[in-house]
Amino acid sequence: EVQLVESGGGLVQPGRSLRLSCTASGFTFGDYAMSWFRQAPGKGLEWVGFIRSKAYGGTTEYAASVKGRFTISRDDSKSIAYLQMNSLKTEDTAVYYCSKGRLVLDYWGQGTLVTVSS
């Protein structure tokens, strides 16, 4: 059974950093891209970015709103995808979700809440 579990969320001050983790099980993690999304309170879904599998270069793409501040990485030996968030802004407050793949997003984690506030 495929499972994705996000962790690392919490309350953080503007300008600080936070790293989220997405721990995967139930599939061959290294064979898949991994994506991150977010949803601000009461708002719609927003694509954050993804990381391709090593077979496709492990390259990344990001939304303009986070490019240069957020970095997605992966550790295939641990089946974990990371979202490093730097220079956080109040508008980054959201539930962050990871998902298996980058095209057909059939599995999602339960999300982790990040609150950016002083």
Partner 1 sequence: EIVLTQSPGTLSLSPGERATLSCRASQSVSSSYLAWFQQKPGQAPRLLIYGASSRATGIPDRFSGSGSGTDFTLTISRLEPEDFAVYYCQQYGSSPYTFGQGTKLEIK
Q: Which residues contact partner 1 (rule: CB under 8 A)?
A: 37, 44-47, 61, 63-64, 97, 102-106, 108-111
Cβ contact 10:115 at 8 Å: yes
Cβ contact 87:69 at 8 Å: yes
User: At closest approach, how far in Å is the CB of 50 from partner 1?
Assistant: 8
Those residues whose C-beta lies under 8 Å from the C-beta of residue 77, and which sit 6 or more positions away, are none
Q: Per the structure block, which two tokens stand in for 94? A: 């959201």
User: At closest approach, how far in Å is the CB of 115 from partner 1?
Assistant: 16
Nearer CB in complex with partner 1: 46/76: 46
Cβ contact 57:49 at 8 Å: no
Nearer CB in complex with partner 1: 82/96: 96
User: At closest approach, how far in Å is the CB of 13 from partner 1?
Assistant: 26
